[in-house]
Amino acid sequence: MTSGRCVFLAWLVVIGLTTSGVAQKVKVGYDKSVDFSKYKTYTWAKLDHPVERPQLYQDVVGTIDQDLSAKGLVRTATHGDLTLSAAGGIDFGYNAPPTATMDPVMWQGEYGAPVLNAPLVAQGTLTLQFIDGSQGKMVWRGTVMQKLDPEQKDQALILAEKAIDKLLKGFPPKH
């Protein structure tokens, strides 16, 4: 085999490994009894702790806001029909949002009830919860995993935006 062919094959392997590593893994669960068409506004939950990566956090919130605006939802400062709670990060740790009350019988998708209450968030994970503002009950929860390299900020932001778009593609759920 010529050295040119070896180099070409090596690049194919590298490209294959790189593209397989950027695929997002999405898991979603929601309350099947809820009529999501009744929700018109949303409010972001207050943060419990300071943000470690403010640029990434602002980009995540901005992307979520854009996606929800395109779906007809309006962000309000207080008392939205839904309260959004997002958590996650590039590192592994206890950075999950507090879990709102839920009826596991009414859920489909993401996980069974015991895992929904787990406080750990894996590396490169974003967990987004939608809580009914009037009932204080979680009605939708989604998780997306995307490996991000904090040293490559521009690429990390692009990958994070794509992961969020994929996460919210099926929101609101259709009956």
Mean pLDDT calculated for residue range 69-90? 90
Side-chain-side CA neighbours of 75 within 13 Å: the count stands at: 14
Predicted confidence band at 54 (pLDDT cuts at 50, 70, 90)? confident
Instruction: Please name which of 113, 46, 42, 47 lies closest in space to residue 80, comparing C-alpha atoms.
Output: 42
**150-164 pLDDT tens trace:** 677 777 778 888 889
pTM of the model: 0.69
Q: What are the beta bridge partners of residue 31?
A: 107
Helix axes 153-168, 54-70, angle to 10 degrees: 30
25-31 β-sheet, strand order: 74-75, 41-44, 82-89, 125-132, 137-145, 25-31, 107-109
Average pLDDT estimate for 137-141? 94
Q: Which residues pair with 137 in a beta bridge?
A: 101, 132
Average pLDDT of span 39-67: 87
pLDDT for the residue 96:
46
Cα within 13 Å of Cα(36), Cβ side:
18
Annotate 16-51 with DSSP letters as a single string.
HHHHHHT--EEEEEEETT--GGG--EEEEPPPSS--
Pick the CATH number of 24-168 from 3.30.160.670, 3.40.50.970, 2.30.110.10, 3.20.20.80: 3.30.160.670
Q: Where are the domains of the chain?
A: 24-168
φ/ψ (deg, to 5) at 161: -60, -45
Of 163, 160, 167, the C-alpha closest to 56 is 160
